Structure 1
Amino acid sequence: MAIAVGEVEECRMITIDRPPVNALDLEAILALEAAFVAAAADRPRGVVLTGAGNAFCAGVDTRAFGSYDRATRHEMVRAITRMVAALLAIPVPVVVAVNGHALGGGFVLMLGGDYRLVADAAGAKLGLTEAKAGVPFPAGPRAMIAAELAPSLLRRLTLTSATLSPAEAVAADIADTLVVPEDLITQACSVAAAMAAQPAFGAVKQQVRGPLAARVAALAASGEEPFLAAFG
């Protein structure tokens, strides 16, 4: 099972659980998409997205991706955009609890959070390493990073595959709060509850993040991937 879903303090807990570093194969991507769709339908008080073990998500499993035939690789690319669209469509607070490495697709998932907590974990790396990994950005993630990152930071992180420490991610305003690892989930649930308690949260989220959600939803619905040929 690549994804675990449970309830903690009235929050929906979605955990990426694919050892050793929670890299995403097609099964995991489809499972995340389904979990996000279910959260949007169920409307729990809040959603906490995290990873099992010592990693949040190391992005696309390049070995699995390379083992797929062409049709399956293209299916996976489109599924990634649908997954991102489903994440952005969740109307309740989404708090991302980054417990370790967040690379490539894992970094994109972090950007999908309405609030981003990162554990002060030794050696943890956060970055957009698609160029180094040999896997370009699907349309959904490309829209996400363009909307969520300052142009100069977007250029540097994507074209150099540079990585940041958790503290550097907070300093760069990519993540919101640096926490000690043992407090990560408790604090994430607390933040989600505090955000949900705001009477106009849903309306304001739609105002602020709705345009991006609509763009990615349209991309997912169309199935159009301008760089699909680059995925082999």
Structure 2
Amino acid sequence: MIGLFGGAFDPIHFGHLRAALEVREALGLTEVRLLPLNVAVHREQPAADGALRLRMVQAAIAGVPGLVADDRELRRSGRSYTVDTLTDFRAELGPDAPLCLLVGGDAFNGFLEWHRPRDILTLAHIAVMRRPGSVLPRDAELREELERRRTERPADLHAAPAGRIWLQSVTQLDISSTRIRRALASGASPRFLLPDAVLDLAEAAGCYAGPAGPALARESEFNT
């Protein structure tokens, strides 16, 4: 089973990487594909261009088994809708291969507002990455969907191509891309919040110099 974890990755940091690794190990995923988005849907557009964000993802996971950079959203024009990405994977892998979409807890709370959310559940399972102490969605319709589809057995996800929901507690790391961008814009060092190789690329490009954008509740449909 392949895991799919997309987002702005503007820049990618240890919060993203640790969560991806923990879900991969918990569910026995063959690999997790990290997909930098092209055109954001639920946030301001990334400060760094797609080519640089892809290079930062590649640098962050270099030598890490089971984590793979995937550029298909950057190669597709228009908004980076999750359902389009999953449809592309289905065309590549066939209808029976189990796929698991990794989604941050905050993003999942707004899942029914996504583009064609019901279709997403026909294309993939969802692994909701929850920080310790987080609460289940307050929306009654989403809670009903969660309870109907939730499983606590990884084998259930491997046995079907799509349609189940898994709740995964992940290590709480108080790191955000917004915080990193602001540190770089102000001349402060964000070292130890992200891999050194990623920081070196960001500093060399100078893409985060100057005023940083406002903090955002959801950086993408996938992001933590």
Structure 2-normalised TM-score? 0.29
**Where is the helix percentage greater, Structure 1 or Structure 2?**
1
